[in-house]
Structure 1
Amino acid sequence: MVLLLRSVAYWLQSTLFDLPPDQRISGLGGLPVDAMLIPAAGGVLLGLIGLALRRRKARYVDLVEANALHGGKLSMVDSLIITGQTIISNGFGASVGLEAAYTQMGGVAASKLGDMLQLRRGDMRKLVGCGAAGAIAAAFGAPLTGAFYAFELIIGTYTIATLAPVMAASIAAVLVTALFGHGEPIVTIPEVITIGVPQVLLIILSGLVTGAIGILLMRLVGSVEQAFRTFKIPTWARPAVGGLAVGALGLITPAVLSAGHGALEKAFAAPPLPVVLAISIVFLKVLASAISLGAGFRGGLFFASLFLGAILGQVLYWVALWINPGLFPEPSIPMLVGMAGLAAAIVGGPLTMAFLALETSGSLPLTVAVLVAAVASSMLVRETFGYSFTTWRFHLRGETIRSAHDVGWMRNLTVGRMMRRDVKSVSEEMTLKEFRRLYPLGAATRVIGLRDDGRYAGMIDVADAYADEALEDGAMVGSILRHTDVMLHPALGAVDAEALFEKHNADALVVVSDLAERKVIGTLTESHLLRRYSNELERARADLAQ
């Protein structure tokens, strides 16, 4: 599937941009003026597709969301739509990569296989991770990279139980691509280096800089989306407007177009760019990627972040050369460090980047250097921003997903599933004498007080009716009501419900069908909620260990 999708996208690029054989669009020296209209044409096509799909009102689910909330369940139709939009975006030159399409199709194939085999939730999530691992391994010719991409980003954790199937998928994918004459690493760096304290300090600095640029790029995507909303540009027209802007940037340098494969190969094969030119390309590529995604083009930033990081690595090389010419023997070393730092910031997988360096260079010292940069970048993003690009997109639309850890059971564990429906109720105007006759001590723990119209008035702790001797038998039940304005509703999640218990220091709360109508349908105690939550948490942990 990876080879097929790649071939279709490259065919589109070759046809539309009239590329020479074996030439990538981002590696061209320049473009004719009319080529700036090609990304805009792709935007028009995406806008028309969006209009045609408007009636579906579907929210397309990617692998991270599927594993986090839906137990690995993916829709084949939705995945084909995502993949088609990604191919159009990349094929027409938008500044996005194909990795989103690769992993989506790998994941949905695994999900449908799991459906056929009727796998349980935990196994389905692992199998979807295998599909993603195979896709990334095939795309980069790197089985360890694919495997740890799945562990860090799709499954959300690494266990011995998942090692064998995920590694098997990654190795098999690389072997299959090798049968077709592909499967080589994206670049090869044979240089062996020695890492000392001066290099480590520069590498940490590189990690912090790439982390900051990763945050800038993610923020910029949200800013572009906000700008389109501010200027009230219709959703269907945004890709065309964004495509025109990206095409204009492509006239300055074609390196900003597509994912950047050709430009990356050219960067490693040619001498390092001058500092000003390298910084300019980074600026233009960041802008092009943000406009592409903010305008509505579909795709990922995995490879784009590798290209950006490589150019930033050239800047690091010039800095090191200015400090001490012997720090880095050649520019490919800081380029690989920059690739790992920026990709770890945006994609969110430091170990994935470390293994990419290992499989690219075969050098353990260089792998350690890359890991230092990736960890520094990831820590900066985590502490100051808190999201990778994928989870940032969830945040922009109101989701709270931080990773692919299975939190779907938390969404399913609602108040409506846990409440008791056998509610005891009395009128709030009943006298305490009558209440004590109906509910002697020990007969019940809590009773619901209702208004004349049947709406919730408050909760009565039966012990309160006997605790205060100053209350005369003629006093009304309404005088001992608790939590008169605190109610739960059936769709409320366990975490939010517990927050209400904590805030109001309540042992039990009423459940109403609607907060405005206040019609009582059940009750829920804090002890029962915590017990159910604990049981589900233990079950989720057991799934991870199996």
Structure 2
Amino acid sequence: MLSGLALVCGVLSSLAMTGMIELLYWLSSTVLPSHSENYEALSPTVRFILPVLACAALTIIWLLVPAKFLKVGIPYVVERLNYHQGNLPLMNAFIQFVGAFIGLFGGLSIGKEGPAVHIGATFGSILAQRFRLSYIAVETLVACGVAGAIAAAFQTPLAGVLFAYEVIFHEYRLRLVLPVLLSSVVATAISQIILGRIEVFELEAVFLPLYQLDMLAAYAVLALCIVVASTLFYQVQRALWRLGSVPLAARFMTVGVLTGLVGLYLPQVLGGGYDTLNSLLQGDILFVSLLGLALAKVLLTSVSIGLGIPGGMVGPTFVIGGMLGAQVSFWFDTQIPVAAELALFVLLGMAGMMATVFQAPLTAIVAMVEMTHTSVTIAPAILVIVVSCTAVRLLFNQDSIFVERLHSLGMVSEWSPVQRVLRQHDVRSVASKVNNFPELLHLERVRDLASGMIDYVSIEKSGHHFIVSVSEMVGKLKELDLGPQPWLMVEGNRQAMDVLRALPGTPVSVVDSSLSLAELLSWLHRHKQHQVLVSFVQQQELWLVTSQQLDQMLLKG
């Protein structure tokens, strides 16, 4: 069932991602000439007014919608996973879609991939909640939605899976990777059917003189540029996070006016910015500094996200890195042909910037391989990514931008080793299955339990549950040799045992299977209980979890 739901999740995530792209392309094409990101062809007045109107529309919507539905984005997904059993409301995803669409159409410097991740994760959460799956299955389906959204955006199935585990969960979960892979592959296939094959780079099979001095210097300079850009990207947002008390209208309109002013002089930074990279790769000449464009893109994106605009950061980081890579390529005269060198450095910049901002090195490397359909650039990519990621961590103590955002809100992005072990195990891996019986139990059924493998049964009386030992129940049958017992009853011309009259059953509470083991342990401590029944409604099963079982599992781990 989990694989079937993963397939459904991949379909829904891909349709959401491709639907946003197609809808944005259709609507933008009615306003922008030639293509959907051709803001350069607009008059200066329109370039200023468009982002201002978009921010005004967002302000009106955000003021009308209840505050609980306004939390959106990847940090919100991680928060719901860590603190709310992965329960992601559909209304928040809808607001995310509407907000990101308006911002992108208005030329704001945000991305569409982050919102698609939120929407895909919501589909996974809703499917898991609908079928009342365990917490570990909820996490798996959320990962399916995240992977499907990224895979559909870039048609990179394996990178989508790694993005889910590196960026959302901060650990690799190979035991549950098959459903996520299925979702990612299905999402990629649907994206290719709807959008066609995305061919961003066409690298020639060239020999890369990796260890020559000029190439090493170029890689070092590129890594340095990425470190500076990613640090600025984080520090600007960090400063703006403190302005949460400023009225929303003031924050949003500041973004609109600032974007409009920058768009007057640098229209290339409006919108996604992928058209600028495509122009570079096609050999077109830009009459502005690439370094200036990258700096403007860093500032506009970080200001937009830092002040609460509901957009993503994945696309802008790609564009910023690509611009930096192209600039470094122009600075150095290497032995690689010009076209191949430019494409190589654009690609290295994209991978390095993404890996550094999100601290997701494997995702960036694999995405680079899948987008270019060649492994020839793996070595230089690893060199740039390792240097830039390590430098940011050591010199500036900077983690993933999403982790830093959660920390600024007083939340944890990673749990203690004990909590991590508990969250990686399913309830049934440490619990004991129990059968649920009424208070009166026929003697033949009691004798049958003696030959079974169940140690405890649950006796239900007036909506309450009591745990009774099977061995003690069977032992009570021997008392019949001494004569009739007060617990002996007759039901339907058959002798039965009034179990709770014969034995002092232990009252026990029943909780839903959506709770993880970590939450069950917390529940036991909070209610000062030593055991609890977990109800799997879909399978109509009851499982007994005791604090002793959890302790034994932790000691073994």
Q: Which residue of 2 aligns with 1:218?
A: 234
What is the alpha-carbon distance in structure 2 between the residues aligned to residue 103 and residue 536 of structure 1? 36
Give me the identity figure in percent.
24
Contact 1:146 1:352 in 2 (8 A): yes
The equivalent position to 1:242 in structure 2, one of 240, 251, 255, is 255
1:79 corresponds to 2:93: yes
What is the alpha-carbon distance in structure 1 between the residues aligned to residue 281 and residue 418 of structure 2? 40
- The farther-off stretch of 4-13 and 238-247 is 4-13
Contact 1:211 1:341 in 2 (8 A): no
What is the alpha-carbon distance in structure 1 between the residues aligned to residue 361 and residue 556 of structure 2? 24
Equivalent residue of 2:341, what SS? Answer: coil
The equivalent position to 2:178 in structure 1, one of 121, 139, 164, is 164
Q: Name the aligned partner's letter for residue 48 of structure 1.
A: I
What is the alpha-carbon distance in structure 2 between the residues aligned to residue 269 and residue 35 of structure 1? 25
What is the alpha-carbon distance in structure 1 between the residues aligned to residue 291 and residue 24 of structure 2? 28
Q: Which residue of 2 aligns with 1:347?
A: 358
Query: What does 1:99-498 align with in structure 2 at a 5 Å threshold?
Result: 99-198=113-212, 199-226=215-242, 234-271=247-284, 277-321=289-333, 324-326=334-336, 330-383=341-394, 384-401=396-413
Residue 5 of structure 1, CA deviation: 1.4
Contact 2:294 2:324 in 1 (8 A): yes
Residue 221 of structure 1, CA deviation: 1.8
Contact 2:210 2:380 in 1 (8 A): no
Q: Tell me the alpha carbon deviations over residues 13-44 of structure 1, each in whole angstroms, 9 at most, x when there is no partner.
A: 334xx212434235x35643233111111111
Q: Name the aligned partner's letter for residue 182 of structure 1.
A: G
What is the alpha-carbon distance in structure 2 between the residues aligned to residue 326 and residue 533 of structure 1? 65
Contact 2:51 2:256 in 1 (8 A): yes
Q: Which residue of 2 aligns with 1:67?
A: 81
Q: Tell me the alpha carbon deviations over residues 201-225 of structure 1, each in whole angstroms, 9 at most, x when there is no partner.
A: 5324422430231111111123345
Q: Which residue of 1 aligns with 2:53?
A: 41
After superposition, the Cα gap between the structure-2 partners of 1:279 and 1:117, relative to the gap in structure 1 and judged at 3 Å, is same
Q: Name the aligned partner's letter for residue 331 of structure 2.
A: V
Contact 1:340 1:370 in 2 (8 A): yes
Contact 1:157 1:405 in 2 (8 A): no
Residue 133 of structure 1, CA deviation: 0.7
Q: Tell me the alpha carbon deviations over residues 444-490 of structure 1, each in whole angstroms, 9 at most, x when there is no partner.
A: xxxxxxxxxxxxxxxxxxxxxxxxxxxxxxxxxxxxxxxxxxxxxxx
What is the alpha-carbon distance in structure 1 between the residues aligned to residue 201 and residue 548 of structure 2? 48
What is the alpha-carbon distance in structure 1 between the residues aligned to residue 89 and residue 190 of structure 2? 26
Contact 2:223 2:384 in 1 (8 A): yes
Contact 1:137 1:143 in 2 (8 A): yes
What is the alpha-carbon distance in structure 1 between the residues aligned to residue 120 and residue 187 of structure 2? 10
Q: Which residue of 1 aligns with 2:478?
A: none
Contact 2:100 2:311 in 1 (8 A): yes
Q: Which residue of 1 aligns with 2:29?
A: 14
What is the alpha-carbon distance in structure 1 between the residues aligned to residue 190 and residue 44 of structure 2? 38
Equivalent residue of 1:20, what SS? Answer: coil
Q: Tell me the alpha carbon deviations over residues 140-171 of structure 1, each in whole angstroms, 9 at most, x when there is no partner.
A: 01112212112211233223323322221111
Contact 2:70 2:95 in 1 (8 A): no
Name the Cα RMSD after superposition: 3.5
Contact 1:354 1:371 in 2 (8 A): yes
Q: Name the aligned partner's letter for residue 286 of structure 1.
A: V
Q: Which residue of 1 aligns with 2:19?
A: 4
What is the alpha-carbon distance in structure 2 between the residues aligned to residue 24 and residue 88 of structure 1? 14
After superposition, the Cα gap between the structure-2 partners of 1:161 and 1:200, relative to the gap in structure 1 and judged at 3 Å, is farther
Contact 1:37 1:247 in 2 (8 A): yes
Q: Name the aligned partner's letter for residue 258 of structure 1.
A: G
After superposition, the Cα gap between the structure-2 partners of 1:124 and 1:185, relative to the gap in structure 1 and judged at 3 Å, is farther
Residue 406 of structure 1, CA deviation: 10
Contact 1:282 1:311 in 2 (8 A): yes
Contact 2:406 2:412 in 1 (8 A): yes
Equivalent residue of 1:133, what SS? Answer: helix
Equivalent residue of 1:398, what SS? Answer: coil
After superposition, the Cα gap between the structure-2 partners of 1:534 and 1:357, relative to the gap in structure 1 and judged at 3 Å, is farther
Residue 289 of structure 1, CA deviation: 1.0
What is the alpha-carbon distance in structure 2 between the residues aligned to residue 377 and residue 136 of structure 1? 23
After superposition, the Cα gap between the structure-2 partners of 1:146 and 1:81, relative to the gap in structure 1 and judged at 3 Å, is same
After superposition, the Cα gap between the structure-2 partners of 1:54 and 1:368, relative to the gap in structure 1 and judged at 3 Å, is same
Contact 1:354 1:368 in 2 (8 A): no
After superposition, the Cα gap between the structure-2 partners of 1:183 and 1:124, relative to the gap in structure 1 and judged at 3 Å, is farther
Q: Name the aligned partner's letter for residue 364 of structure 1.
A: S
Q: Tell me the alpha carbon deviations over residues 478-530 of structure 1, each in whole angstroms, 9 at most, x when there is no partner.
A: xxxxxxxxxxxxxxxx9xxxxxxxxxxxxxxxx9x9xxxxxxx99xxxxxxxx
Residue 298 of structure 1, CA deviation: 1.1
Contact 1:188 1:360 in 2 (8 A): no
What is the alpha-carbon distance in structure 2 between the residues aligned to residue 57 and residue 113 of structure 1? 20
Contact 1:221 1:291 in 2 (8 A): yes
Equivalent residue of 2:297, what SS? Answer: helix
Q: Name the aligned partner's letter for residue 148 of structure 1.
A: L
Residue 402 of structure 1, CA deviation: 5.1
Q: Tell me the alpha carbon deviations over residues 300-355 of structure 1, each in whole angstroms, 9 at most, x when there is no partner.
A: 1111111111110112112321xx45597521111111111111111221111111
Q: Which runs of 5+ in 2 are unaligned?
A: 1-15, 424-517, 519-524, 529-545
Contact 1:138 1:173 in 2 (8 A): yes
Q: How many residues align?
A: 420
TM-score normalised to structure 1 length: 0.69
Equivalent residue of 2:206, what SS? Answer: coil
What is the alpha-carbon distance in structure 2 between the residues aligned to residue 346 and residue 157 of structure 1? 17
Residue 173 of structure 1, CA deviation: 0.8
Q: Which residue of 2 aligns with 1:429?
A: none
After superposition, the Cα gap between the structure-2 partners of 1:234 and 1:145, relative to the gap in structure 1 and judged at 3 Å, is same
What is the alpha-carbon distance in structure 1 between the residues aligned to residue 177 and residue 146 of structure 2? 14
Q: Which runs of 5+ in 1 are unaligned?
A: 412-493, 495-510, 514-520, 523-530
What is the alpha-carbon distance in structure 2 between the residues aligned to residue 115 and residue 381 of structure 1? 39
TM-score normalised to structure 2 length: 0.68
What is the alpha-carbon distance in structure 1 between the residues aligned to residue 124 and residue 393 of structure 2? 31
Residue 391 of structure 1, CA deviation: 1.6
Residue 124 of structure 1, CA deviation: 1.3
Residue 57 of structure 1, CA deviation: 7.6
Residue 360 of structure 1, CA deviation: 2.1
Contact 1:256 1:285 in 2 (8 A): yes
Structure 1 runs (4+) greater than 6 angstroms displaced: 403-406, 408-411, 531-534, 539-542
Residue 249 of structure 1, CA deviation: 0.5
